């Protein structure tokens, strides 16, 4: 039976009730894990207010500001976790961003600035967060991230995010190799298209969802909670022998050709 009681989990990337990170947080909580969650700080505090109201039923131990482009905020998160728990068992990385120019038009027109920003937030941040988590995972741990089929196949309008996800998936493998001797497992979940705040920036997202509903073996797409179920499994001792993997949760769409 899936049991995360006594486990501590640091969940990044919750924006609203459509976030995949929200589905993961719910399922980790249901399995018994104690949560620390982040919000993206902004001048008016809108994101903080929204996240605090959303996660209240989960009774998180910590609600922390975290802009992964700010080194000090990452360090502050881990300092707060150290002071609260003294250790960490689970890290969930649900962070991705690309400017609109990186999701439309020709790939060759993407600017250096947009490319660098997307890779810093969407790809580099996994390794940076893993670096902070490593010394706190004194009894081993599980690190999870989110990918998408566009990291291995050409998807219309995904453009720059495809490059970021490809790098993210390779980061999973290198981190798994590095952290394995410390009994820290690193895996990714490649979810089918789900309508979220992040995916709304991808042109034709509704067409993508309808296409999957028509062509996937299960003839539907997946929900945030289904991704959350897989995340909870990968975070648990039931997945103790799994690391360096990208698990598809996409109603089987990845296996199809024509």
Over the range 174-193, which residues count as b (16 or more CB within 10 Å of their CB) and which as e? ebbeebeeeebbbbbbbbbb
Per-residue pLDDT of the chain (258 residues; tens, 9 = 90+): 699 999 999 999 999 999 999 999 999 999 999 999 999 999 888 999 999 999 999 999 999 999 999 999 999 999 999 999 999 999 999 999 999 899 988 999 999 999 999 999 999 999 999 999 999 999 999 999 999 999 999 998 899 999 999 999 999 999 999 999 999 999 999 999 986 655 555 556 778 888 899 999 999 999 999 999 999 999 999 999 999 999 999 999 999 987
Asked if residue 170 belongs to a domain, the reply is yes
Which tokens hold the place of 130?
A: 């893993």
pTM confidence score: 0.95
Q: What is the pLDDT of residues 127-137, one digit of tens each?
A: 999 999 999 99
In angstroms, rounded to a whole number, what is the distance separating the alpha carbons of residues 37 and 35? 6
Q: What is the pLDDT of residues 164-186, one digit of tens each?
A: 999 999 999 999 999 999 999 99
Where are the extended beta strands (E) located within the chain?
8-11, 34-39, 62-65, 90-93, 141-147, 184-191, 246-249
Instruction: Write the DSSP symbol of residue 164.
Output: H
Structural domain containing residue 167? 8-252
Asked if residue 1 belongs to a domain, the reply is no
Residue 215 maps to which CATH number? Answer: 3.40.50.720
Which tokens hold the place of 7?
A: 């486990």
Asked if residue 258 belongs to a domain, the reply is no
Active site residue 124: no
Asked if residue 45 belongs to a domain, the reply is yes
The one catalytic residue in 78, 124, 148, 174 is: 148
CB 68 within 8 A of CB 129: yes
Active site residue 174: no
Asked if residue 216 belongs to a domain, the reply is yes
Structural domains counted in the chain? 1
Asked if residue 3 belongs to a domain, the reply is no
In angstroms, rounded to a whole number, what is the distance separating the alpha carbons of residues 141 and 122? 22
Asked if residue 58 belongs to a domain, the reply is yes
Asked if residue 37 belongs to a domain, the reply is yes
């Amino acid at each position: 039976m899936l049991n995360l009681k006594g486990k501590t989990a640091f969940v990044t990337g919750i924006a609203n009730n459509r976030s995949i990170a929200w589905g993961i947080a719910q399922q980790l909580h249901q399995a018994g894990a104690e949560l620390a969650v982040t919000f993206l700080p902004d001048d008016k505090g809108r994101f903080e207010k929204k996240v605090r109201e959303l996660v209240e039923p989960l009774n998180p131990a910590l609600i922390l500001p975290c802009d992964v482009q700010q080194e000090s905020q990452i360090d502050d998160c881990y300092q707060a976790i150290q002071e609260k728990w003294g250790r960490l068992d689970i890290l969930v990385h649900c962070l991705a961003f690309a400017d609109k120019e990186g999701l439309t038009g020709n790939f060759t027109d993407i600017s250096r600035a947009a490319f660098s920003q997307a890779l810093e937030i969407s790809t580099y941040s996994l390794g940076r967060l893993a670096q902070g988590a490593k010394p706190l995972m004194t009894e081993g741990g599980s690190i999870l991230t989110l990918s998408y089929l566009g990291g291995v196949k050409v998807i219309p309008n995904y453009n720059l995010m495809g490059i970021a996800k490809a790098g993210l998936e390779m980061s999973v493998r290198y981190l798994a190799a590095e952290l394995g001797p410390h009994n820290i497992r690193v895996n990714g979940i490649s979810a089918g298209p789900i309508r979220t705040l992040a995916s709304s920036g991808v042109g034709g997202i509704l067409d993508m969802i309808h296409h999957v509903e028509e062509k996937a073996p299960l003839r539907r797409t997946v929900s945030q909670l289904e991704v959350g179920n897989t995340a909870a499994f990968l975070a648990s001792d039931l997945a103790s022998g799994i690391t360096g993997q990208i698990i598809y949760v996409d109603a089987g769409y990845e296996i199809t050709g024509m």
